[in-house]
Amino acid sequence: MTDKIERSIEELYRNDPQRADAEVFGRVTEPNRRGFLGGAGLAAMSAAVGGTIPFAADMPGGLIPAAMAQTPPASAPPAAAAPAAKKGPIYLNFPGKSDKLVVIGERPLVAETPEHLLDDDTTPYEKFFIRNNGQIPEETKDGDKWKFTVEGEVNNKLELTLGDLKSKYKAQTRRMVLECGGNGRSFYSPPASGNQWTNGGAGCAEWTGVRLGDVLKAAGVKPSGIYTAHYSADLHLSGNPATPTLSRGVRMAKAMDPESMIVWAMNGQPLSNIHGGPVRLLIPGWPGSASQKWLTKIVIRDKEHDGPGMTGTSYRLTINPMVPGDKADPKNFKIMESMPVRSIITSPANGAKLAAGTREVKLRGASWAGDHTVRRVDVSTDYGVTWQPAKLEKAKNRFDWQRWTAAVKLPRDGYYEIWSRAMDSRGQMQPHVAPNWNPSGYGGNPMHRIAVLIA
């Protein structure tokens, strides 16, 4: 090693991976670490990750080892600030919820689900992530009396109760992914503003309700009605009742999709207050913010909706790439619609320690792709030098996630990283790093990596 390391390797890699390469492996001048591993440098890295590294020569330069990289921050850093030192996660304390969910925002309350807790085909209530934008409303005592309206560019203004929905419209149940628009935000560099999600802002539950399109047809949408606008009962954090907390909307074609729903049950139980009960929207495949919780009103508009969460850089992606960290040009942004393809490894968990002599590791995971389907999932144990296909299961219905399994062979004891990547039906594949940097950090879907130690 050429210089004395005055900080721990973990801290150095989190804050300056390129310098960490130079300190640990020598002055790396090529785009990877090949040829620089050996002696004190390799010993230092092996000590940091807890074991010898069989595929050390294939580890890309500047890569923060998964053993050091995936502890979620307790709160969101400002966009222009350096990442805060990681002091370990803050775990959720909420009635009926797992105490293994990680709090990434306290006002409003936001909590994500570590990937290994998403190992169920249907995500249980207690493991489902929490995302709020305002103050949580008080729980209603009689859900069937909950009212909401449909108005605007319609021939017949509707005022409906939950009881009306249940009695007048045909119900359906679908297992579908609900995903926060900012899922994956923590993978951007420089940091983007907002809650620092890893991959845990997603879940796949059984939702029961009616087709949104059936209700809109009953209202008689006029030819001029091209966009929806959604409103809810949660009070703005400022306490001002005249300020909407969030008001998102979707194009009419998406609203009329048979899987876009007004729902009142989750996994066969009345929709809980924390998840938007007694009535919410469920717009699958698009950012979860479009699936308005505590639904009070749908307005049909004759233009693209411009409510809170629809303008500037909020839930919007760049049209042309921008320089990371640069000032945003509002004209270069468009509304985020279909979520990007993503795969996660749900078993084993990141940081798993397996018995000495283990030579095969069985993997399970989940994959999904917004409005699209997943074509394939591949896994790698040698930092992406080689890949093998996973067995991809069929979805239960549209917008269900697709579970996958694989078994990988490992040559000897030591530290390994297992990577997964998915490709969607259009041929779009998860990248190595979070793509298309934007100041609010949307669309971050890099390959998932876990650390496994066989010792």
3-class state of residue 407 by DSSP: strand
Least confident stretch, 54-63, 143-152, 208-217: 54-63
* Predicted confidence (pLDDT) at residue 31 exceeds the cutoff of 70: no
Q: What pLDDT sits at residue 24?
A: 64
* Predicted confidence (pLDDT) at residue 79 exceeds the cutoff of 80: no
Distance CA 51, CA 49 (A): 6
What string of DSSP letters covers 408-427? Answer: EE-SSSEEEEEEEEEEETTS
* Predicted confidence (pLDDT) at residue 427 exceeds the cutoff of 70: yes
Mean pLDDT of all residues in the chain? Answer: 91
* Predicted confidence (pLDDT) at residue 73 exceeds the cutoff of 50: no
Q: Pull the structure tokens for residue 355.
A: 């018995």
Q: Sorting pLDDT into bands at 50, 70 and 90, what band is 5? A: very low
What string of DSSP letters covers 84-103? Answer: PPP--PEEP--TTS-TTSEE
Provide the H-helix boundaries in 256-411.
none
* Predicted confidence (pLDDT) at residue 75 exceeds the cutoff of 50: no
- DSSP for residue 205: E
Q: What pLDDT sits at residue 44?
A: 81
What digits encode the pLDDT tens for the residues 344-387? Answer: 999 999 999 999 999 999 999 999 999 999 999 999 999 999 99
Distance CA 349, CA 363 (A): 10
Average pLDDT (415-424) is 98
What digits encode the pLDDT tens for the residues 94-103? Answer: 999 999 999 9
Q: What pLDDT sits at residue 83?
A: 42
Cβ-based burial of 368 (10 A; exposed 0-12, middle 13-18, buried ≥19): buried
Q: Where are the beta strands (DSSP E) in 239-294?
A: 261-266, 269-270, 280-282
* Predicted confidence (pLDDT) at residue 1 exceeds the cutoff of 50: no
Residue length of the chain: 455
Average pLDDT (221-235) is 98
What digits encode the pLDDT tens for the residues 118-154? Answer: 999 999 999 999 999 999 999 999 999 999 999 999 9
CA angle 72, 23, 41 (to 5 degrees): 95
Q: What pLDDT sits at residue 3?
A: 45
Q: What are the beta bridge partners of residue 131?
A: 110
Nearest CA among 280, 282, 308 for reference residue 295: 280
The per-residue b/e assignment along 244-273, b for 16 or more CB within 10 angstroms, e otherwise, is bbbbbbbbbebbbbebbbbbbbbbeeebbb
Residues above pLDDT 90, as percent of the chain: 82
* Predicted confidence (pLDDT) at residue 399 exceeds the cutoff of 70: yes
Nearest CA among 244, 284, 279, 246 for reference residue 265: 279
Domains delineated in the chain: 9-69 (no CATH), 126-335 (3.90.420.10), 342-454 (2.60.40.650)
Least confident stretch, 13-17, 95-99, 325-329: 13-17
Q: SS3 letters for 330-380? A: HHHEEECCCCCCEEEEEECCCCEEECCCCCEEEEEEEEEECCECEEEEEEE
3-class state of residue 453 by DSSP: strand
The answer to whether the pTM exceeds 0.75 is yes
What digits encode the pLDDT tens for the residues 269-321? Answer: 999 999 999 999 999 999 999 999 999 999 999 999 999 999 999 999 999 99
Contact 165, 158 (CB under 8 A): no
Q: Pull the structure tokens for residue 305.
A: 């909706």
Average pLDDT (381-410) is 98
Distance CA 342, CA 382 (A): 20
Q: Pull the structure tokens for residue 290.
A: 């479009």
Q: What pLDDT sits at residue 7?
A: 56
